[in-house]
Chain A
Amino acid sequence: GENVEQHPSTLSVQEGDSAVIKCTYSDSASNYFPWYKQELGKRPQLIIDIRSNVGEKKDQRIAVTLNKTAKHFSLHITETQPEDSAVYFCAASKGGGSNYKLTFGKGTLLTVNP
């Protein structure tokens, strides 16, 4: 089955700096890659996603890049703010048939220091 590796497990940055989180996946058939933000005790919330037919997607301060050949994708957050502090999860899904399930990485605890 699919395996998603996520790095780093913790990341501390100063307010205003950029943060980058990287994930690799094992199944070349995966075609949907969402990123979720989870604050302590709260539900995971989608912040951005990308499908395998594009290489990059941007939404204000957040961007995701995908390299299908290398089977890795990354989350970039620019101009970080204290409210960006949370655990971020990457995930992968094959889509199609009954393979819609998401396989998650282990998460990255991002701390933005004011």
Chain B
Amino acid sequence: GAGVSQSPRYKVAKRGQDVALRCDPISGHVSLFWYQQALGQGPEFLTYFQNEAQLDKSGLPSDRFFAERPEGSVSTLKIQRTQQEDSAVYLCASSLGSVNEQFFGPGTRLTVL
């Protein structure tokens, strides 16, 4: 079946613009995670959903970052008033349950000029 998909794959934004990144998890996967991967670093946790409930948002770096998963499937990560330090690859992962393997999407590479 289809894996985790993300769109857009690449996004260039001018500083101060708002962006929205989309994640389509594997069908039926309950858990959904967002990670931020800076160049040459490992992914860092941003937020976690179980179905539509956002159970952990401790990794969101500021109140400019907002994530939602209103129907328990597709998720959107929104970044308001983008800054240069927001430039990174944003990875989405889903898993069947809470203790299962996390499957990653291809990521969205965000560049803020």
Q: Are B33 and A43 in contact (CB under 8 A)?
A: no
Contact (Cβ within 8 A) A105 B33: no
Q: Is A60 an interface residue (CB 8 A)?
A: no
Closest CB in chain B relative to A56 CB, distance in Å: 19
Tell me, in angstroms, the Cα distance from A40 to B4 when the chains sit together: 18
Chain A facing B: main interface SS: loop
Q: Is B70 an interface residue (CB 8 A)?
A: no
Q: For chain A residues 61-114, which have a beta carbon within 8 Å of chain B?
A: 89, 91, 95-96, 98-107
Collect the chain B residues with CB atoms within 8 Å of residue A89's CB: 42-43
Task: Name the interface residues of A1-48: CB closer than 8 Å to any CB of B.
Answer: 6, 32, 34, 36, 42-46
B residues with CB within 8 A of A: 4, 31, 33, 35, 40-45, 48, 50, 55-56, 59, 91, 95, 98-99, 101-107
B42 interface neighbour in A43, A95, A107, Cβ under 8 Å: A107
Q: Closest residue of chain A to B99, judged by CB?
A: A95
Kindly state the interface size class of chain A when it binds its partner.
20 to 34
Contact (Cβ within 8 A) B48 A45: no
Contact surface of A with B, Cβ cutoff 8 Å? 6, 32, 34, 36, 42-46, 49, 89, 91, 95-96, 98-107
| A101-B33, A101-B56 given; A43·B43 CB < 8 A | no
A101/B42 in contact, CB under 8 A: no
* Contact present for B105 and A105 (CB under 8 Å): no
| Structural contact, B104 and A45, CB atoms closer than 8 A | yes
Most chain A CB atoms below 10 A, which of B4, B48, B101, B104? B104
The 7 A-B pairs with the shortest beta carbon distances in the complex, nearest first, are: A104-B42, A98-B55, A101-B45, A43-B104, A98-B56, A44-B104, A43-B106
Are A100 and B31 in contact (CB-based, < 8 A)? yes
